[in-house]
Amino acid sequence: MSKTIIISNRLPLQIKLEDNEINVSPSVGGLATGMKSVHEEGDSLWIGWSGLAEEDLNDETREKVQKEIEKNKCAMVPLTENEVDHFYYGFSNKTLWPLFHYFMEYTTFENENWECYKEVNKKFADVVLEHAEDGDTIWVHDYQLLLLPGYIKEKKPDTSIGFFLHIPFPSFEVFRTFPWREEVLRGMLGSDLIGFHTYDYERHFLSSARRLLHLDTNFNEISYDDRIIKIDSFPMGIDFKKFYNAALNHENEELEKSDIQKRLDEHLHSSDDCKLILSIDRLDYTKGIPNRIKAFEYFLEKYPEYQQKVRLVMLAVPSRSNVPQYQLLKRETDELVGRINGKFSTVSWTPIWYFYRSLPFENLIDLYTSCDVAMITPVRDGMNLVAKEYVATRVHQDGVLVLSEMAGAAKEMNEALLINPNNFEGIAQTLKQALEMPKEEQKTRISLMQERLERYSVEKWAEEFFTALNSTKQVRNTLVSK
Ligand code: ADP
Ligand code: G6P
C-alpha cells in the first residue's frame, strides 16, 4: 500500500539526553505541532533529525533514540556536530531564516555553511530514497530542505513531490541578494506542487522564478525541465477540536498544578481586578518581543489608570540559543522586563510575568483559557499558530485577539484587532480597546473566527494540499499517455 512520507528537519518529538537516559517531549513550533495531527491520523512515515548530534550518542543511547523514533512512526537522519553547526545553526538559521524574514542585517553568507547545507540535503535524500516505494507521496517541509525536492526528483522522477514553506517567501528585491538564489529555486522546483501560507508569498516566489530563471509562468504554473509545477497558497490551520476540547475538559479536571497555574490561581483569587494579557512565542527576533514590551510600557504611561489593573503574562520558549542574535535577544528581553517591572511594580502588583521555558500542552491551555487578551506582535511571521490556538480555546466566546498585520494569520483573522508592531501609539490604543471591549462584541468576533478555524482545520489544509498534489499527478499521467 502506498504511504505518505513527511520530511522536515525537526521531528515532532524532541529528544534530550540526561545521564544516559533519553527525555522525550513534543517539539515546539508551528510545523511540528500542525503536522503532528496530520501524521497521527494518516498512514505516514516522518523523516527528520532527532535534535541530537551523533557525537552525543553512544551505542546504548542511540538504540534508545532509535526505538523511540520508530515507535512514533518516524525515521532518523543522523547529523554530526559539524553538520548541526553549519547546516542547522549556520545556513538554516543564520542565512535563510533571517533573510526570508527580511532581517538582512542579521544574514550571513558563508560558503562553508552553504556546502554543508547541500551535503545535508543530500543526506536527507538518501534516507528518503531508502524508504520510498513506487506510488508513495513525498511531502517536504520548510526552509531547511529547499534543495531536497530537486535531489529526490533527480533519482526518482516519477515520484509525486509536494513542498510546503512554513515561513514567508521574501520579495524579489530581498531574494535577489542571496548568492545561491538560482540553485535554491531549482531545488524547490524539483517538486510538483509548491505551497505557501499566503498569496503574497506565492506571488514573490513566482516573481523570483520568472526574473531569475527566466521561466515561463502561466497564472500559477511554471514550466520547468519539461514539467509543469503548480504553485499555490494553503493557509495552515490548527487541530481545532483538540484545542477546543482540551479547553472544555480543562474546566472539569483537577490537574496537577504547575508553578504557572499556581501564579494564575493566586491571581484569580486575589482581590485585585487585574486583567491578563497573554503572549506566547519561541524567543525569536521575528516575534517582536521587545516591541511588545516597549509598547506595553508606553500603554502604562499613556493610560496610568491601567497601572495595577492589567498584567502582561509572557511565555517565551528557548530556541536556537547557539545563534548570537538569539542570545542578544534573550539579554535584551531580560533587561526590558527587569526595567519595566522595576519602574512600575508596587508591593502587590508586578506588570509583567515573564516565563522563559517550554511547557506541557495542559499548561499552554491554562494560559490560553485564563487570559483576557492575547497580544501577538511579530514583526514578520509566516503564519503564527498561537493566534489561532488562543481563539480555539475560548469556549465561552470571550477574549480578544490583538494581532500583528505582519503575521500570515492576519490575512484570515479579520475579526482580530490588527496592529502594526512598530506603531506603539496604535498598539496602546488597540490594547485599551481590547480591554474595554463589550462582551457581546467579543462574542461576535471570537465566534466568527472559531467557525472559520473549525472549517479550515489542519486536516482540511492537508487534504487540500494532497488533492492539489494528486491533480498534478493526473496531469503528468495524461501527458505521458499522449
Ligand atoms: P513558530 O512556528 O514560529 O514557532 P507558531 O506560532 O506558528 O510559531 O507556532 C508555535 C507552536 O509552538 C504552537 O503550535 C504552540 O502551541 C507551540 N508552543 C509555543 N510555546 C510553547 C510552549 N511553551 N510549550 C509547548 N508548545 C509551545
Ligand atoms: C518554525 C519553523 C520550523 C521549526 C520551528 C522550530 O516553526 O518554520 O521549521 O522547526 O520554527 O525551530 P527549530 O529551529 O527549533 O526547529
Cβ–ligand 2 contact at 142 (below 6 Å): yes
Write the CB contacts of 257 (distance below 8 Å, at least 6 apart in sequence).
Answer: 265
Residue with the smallest CA separation from ligand 2 atom 11 is 29
C-alpha 345/C-alpha 335 separation (Å) is 15
pLDDT of residue 479: 63
pLDDT of residue 19: 87
| Phi, psi of 468, deg, nearest 5 | -65, -40
Cell of 302: 499613556
C-alpha 202/C-alpha 230 separation (Å) is 10
pLDDT of residue 474: 73
Residue with the smallest CA separation from ligand 2 atom 5 is 29
Exposure string over 201-234, b if 16+ CB within 10 A, otherwise e: bbbbbbbbbeebeebeeeebbbebeebebbbebb
pLDDT of residue 395: 98
The residue length of the chain stands at: 482
Cβ–ligand 1 contact at 383 (below 6 Å): yes
252: left (phi over 0), alpha (psi -120 to 50) or beta: alpha
pLDDT of residue 255: 58
pLDDT of residue 33: 85
Q: Helices in 72-162 by DSSP H: which ranges?
A: 81-83, 97-100, 111-131, 148-155
Cβ–ligand 2 contact at 30 (below 6 Å): yes
pLDDT of residue 257: 64
| Phi, psi of 180, deg, nearest 5 | -110, 30
What are the average pLDDT values for consecutive 10-residue runs of the chain, which has 482 residues?
A: 94 92 90 88 92 95 95 96 98 98 98 98 98 96 98 97 98 98 98 98 98 95 96 97 94 67 66 87 98 98 97 96 97 98 96 93 92 98 98 98 98 98 98 98 98 97 96 75 60
Residue with the smallest CA separation from ligand 2 atom 12 is 29
Residue with the smallest CA separation from ligand 2 atom 16 is 10
- Gap from CA of 145 to ligand 2 centroid (Å): 12
> What strand order describes the sheet that includes 400-404?
352-356, 310-317, 275-282, 373-376, 400-404, 417-419
CB 298 within 8 A of CB 343: no
Residue with the smallest CA separation from ligand 2 atom 1 is 29
Write the CB contacts of 381 (distance below 8 Å, at least 6 apart in sequence).
Answer: 101, 168, 286, 287, 404, 406, 407, 408, 409
Cβ–ligand 1 contact at 315 (below 6 Å): yes
User: What interface predicted TM-score (ipTM) does this complex get?
Assistant: 0.98
pLDDT of residue 250: 84
